[in-house]
C-alpha cells in the first residue's frame, strides 16, 4: 500500500469507528452509576438502571421528576450530548409539559354520578361508571326498589342488583 494511502484510509474509517460509541469493557470507558456493560453483534453498550441515562450512564434521568402532566409520557432525548426530555401528550392535551387542554368533549364533564370521561377522539367520549352505576338508561333508572329520574346522565343507577357496571359511548 502506498505510504500516503494508509493515513487517508484511517481518516476515512474514523467516522465509522466513532459511530460505534465507547467500548465499555475498556478502561476509561466503563459504565458508571451501576450500569452494566453488555455485548451484542460485536458492539458493546452500557445498559443503565432507571436513575441514569447516557452512553456511560453518566447523566441523571430527567424523567424521574415526572415533568409531563395529565398522563403525558416522558421520553429521554439527547440534545447535543446533554440528557433532556420530551413529553408525548395524551388526547386532549398539548404543550411541552401537556398542560394545555384542547377543546374536547370531556371539558363539559358529561359523565355524571362520579363517572370518568375518557376521550376516544376530541369530539367523542366514553364514560367509565363507578361501582353501582351503569351506562345505559331510559326515562327512569331503577335501583333497590325505587325510581330516580334520568336527566342526560350517562352513568345511571344499575338496573339489576348485582349486575356489573358498564360503559357507554356517547356522540
Q: What share of the chain is helix, strand, coil (3-state, %, to 5)?
A: 15, 30, 55
C-alpha span between 140 and 59 (Å, rounded): 60
> Do the first three CATH levels of 23-60 and 62-102 match, i.e. the same topology?
yes
Q: Give residue limits of the domains in the chain.
A: 23-60, 62-102, 103-170
Answer yes or no: is pLDDT of 161 > 80: no
Query: Which pTM was predicted?
Result: 0.58
Q: What are residue 159's phi and psi, to 5 degrees?
A: -75, -45
Mean pLDDT lowest among 30-44, 80-94, 115-129, 150-164 = 150-164
Q: Using 50, 70 and 90 to split pLDDT, how confident is the model at 27? A: confident
Q: What is the pLDDT of residue 138?
A: 32
Class of domain 23-60: mainly beta
Retrieve residue 57's grid coordinates: 450512564
* CA 63 centroid distance within chain: 11
Q: What is the pLDDT of residue 18?
A: 33
User: Is the distance from CB of 50 to CB of 69 less than 8 angstroms?
Assistant: no
Q: What is the pLDDT of residue 86?
A: 98
Q: Which CATH architecture has domain 62-102?
A: Ribbon (2.10)
Amino acid at each position: 500500500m502506498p505510504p500516503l494511502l494508509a493515513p487517508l484510509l484511517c481518516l476515512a474509517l474514523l467516522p465509522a469507528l466513532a459511530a460505534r460509541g465507547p467500548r465499555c469493557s475498556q478502561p476509561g470507558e466503563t459504565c458508571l452509576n451501576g450500569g452494566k456493560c453488555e455485548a451484542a453483534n460485536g458492539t458493546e453498550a452500557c445498559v443503565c438502571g432507571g436513575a441514569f441515562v447516557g452512553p456511560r450512564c453518566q447523566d441523571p434521568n430527567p424523567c424521574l421528576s415526572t415533568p409531563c402532566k395529565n398522563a403525558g409520557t416522558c421520553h429521554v432525548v439527547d440534545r447535543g450530548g446533554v440528557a433532556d426530555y420530551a413529553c408525548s401528550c395524551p388526547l386532549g392535551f398539548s404543550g411541552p409539559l401537556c398542560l394545555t387542554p384542547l377543546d374536547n368533549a370531556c371539558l363539559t364533564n358529561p359523565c355524571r354520578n362520579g363517572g370518568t370521561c375518557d376521550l376516544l377522539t376530541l369530539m367523542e367520549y366514553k364514560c367509565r361508571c363507578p361501582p353501582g352505576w351503569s351506562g345505559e338508561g331510559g326515562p327512569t333508572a331503577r335501583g333497590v326498589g325505587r325510581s330516580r329520574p334520568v336527566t342526560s346522565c350517562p352513568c345511571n343507577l344499575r338496573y339489576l342488583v348485582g349486575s356489573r357496571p358498564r360503559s357507554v359511548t356517547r356522540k
